[in-house]
Structure 1
């Protein structure tokens, strides 16, 4: 019998390509999105589709229960739904920070809590949380987004050890910039921030640079991330983390620099922009 995967945030980018990758690997795929019309083409391709807003706990539980009722199993969850709230920490309102955590942290938590009882009972299953290189290295102007990804990484690290006795695994996938509409939405969220006037150099970094966007010269294709997600789901003995792309792997090495050295580098960048 084919294995079953539930993927959140399948309407575009990484989620859409991940649904295709699992389908091509002969999984039964439940591709979900807030608006099911955005995944209609995946239904035509042979995926099951459903409306799922990860901020709605009742809908999360109902969707997970429906998958298990229809298929009798849920082998893998891919928590991919998310977005980026950019902006200097002082300028980002607390309501925006809350929304960021509601989607990027509480959302995966809701899905995990709904899926785990079934996985523990079967003593089989895997949680793949799509994080980011920003979950381990933070740059100015990305405090809210990075905080949500740091939190997701911490939750996953704890979860990995808690569920190990039940033969259920939790894995992190950490891409750098990806050729998706992520940066476009992040720029939209940034545009909604009321600027205090104190951090114009930080705004210029995002206004004038494509380093963090989908058009960045270091951005990777979403298909590459999707292949890594699939690898993380099917590898018999998965690693705890899967950085994706050369930029991600290089950036993660910055964690080993002294804090003062990183701060000096950011100060230099601040003067340059």
Structure 2
């Protein structure tokens, strides 16, 4: 049996593709999500579906304890579960903003806390945090989403220095446009929150851009392969970027001034 992996958010999108791909390549995979009923098909790949709500302490503790009891270790943690609410900052209820940070940042951090003792004991571990191109680049209507992904970038950089002496690697994955139900849900939420406010025309522009991006969006398997590349590297890179437009947009962000980049982004909203 290969290394034991916990993949969060495994009921769809990148999480599901990654769980299947790693299982097909000899890993002992636990696919975790709130919607266990949506993961029953994963059993055909030898994946263990496990209930996990990253906003609930007791759920995270129970998930990790069950895995340690059954598998003896958690060698690789892939923090993929995420929330993608979009809407103007002025319009978004703070309760929804807090939920997004809870899922995208605090849930990630708490799971890391729970798996690290075993990883340190074994002097081996891979912690993969799924960020986004949106952890480096921002779109209007995405203030809280981007805040959470920028936070993941910083958290990962600090953590990497802390755990390296214990044989634990921290890897950040920055997907670009990837086929996902989260995009449609985020767009629907944005229309509900900002579709009839002073930001309605901007919301329409962002929605139109999303529709264009989804046409070119990459299959999640592209990200699954990047993750496998990272966890199997003897000396993994700190970051891997991939899927539609990722490398180009990150390059442009690096070479353009803030104001020039803003103009470039806003030109896509028309």
TM-score interval for Structure 1 and Structure 2 normalised by the shorter chain:
over 0.9
- Partner of 1:128: helix, strand, or coil? strand
- Partner of 1:61: helix, strand, or coil? helix
* Cα offset, 1:201, TM superposition: 3.0
Q: After TM superposition, what 4+ stretches of structure 1 lie above 2 angstroms from structure 2?
A: 194-198, 206-213, 263-270
Q: CA RMSD in A?
A: 1.6
Write out aligned runs for 1:1-273 (5 A): 1-194=1-194, 197-210=197-210, 213=213, 215-217=214-216, 219-245=217-243, 247-256=245-254, 257-269=256-268, 273=270
TM-score of the superposition, structure 2-length normalised?
A: 0.94
For the 8 Å contact 2:86–2:187, the answer to whether it is kept is yes
* Cα offset, 1:265, TM superposition: 2.8
- Provide the rounded CA distance (Å) in 2 between the counterparts of 1:246 and 1:45: 28
For 1:62-104, what per-residue CA distance to the aligned partner results, in whole angstroms no more than 9, with x for missing partners? 2112111211111100001012111122112211110110111
- Provide the rounded CA distance (Å) in 2 between the counterparts of 1:136 and 1:267: 16
For the 8 Å contact 1:129–1:173, the answer to whether it is kept is yes
For 1:94-126, what per-residue CA distance to the aligned partner results, in whole angstroms no more than 9, with x for missing partners? 111101101111111111011011111111001
Change (3 A) 1:243 1:161: same
For 1:187-208, what per-residue CA distance to the aligned partner results, in whole angstroms no more than 9, with x for missing partners? 2321331557322332111332
Number of equivalences: 269
* Cα offset, 1:267, TM superposition: 4.8
In structure 2, stretches of 5+ residues that fail to align are: none
* Cα offset, 1:153, TM superposition: 0.9
In structure 1, stretches of 5+ residues that fail to align are: none
- Provide the rounded CA distance (Å) in 2 between the counterparts of 1:200 and 1:254: 28
TM-score of the superposition, structure 1-length normalised?
A: 0.93
- Provide the rounded CA distance (Å) in 1 between the counterparts of 2:257 and 2:155: 25
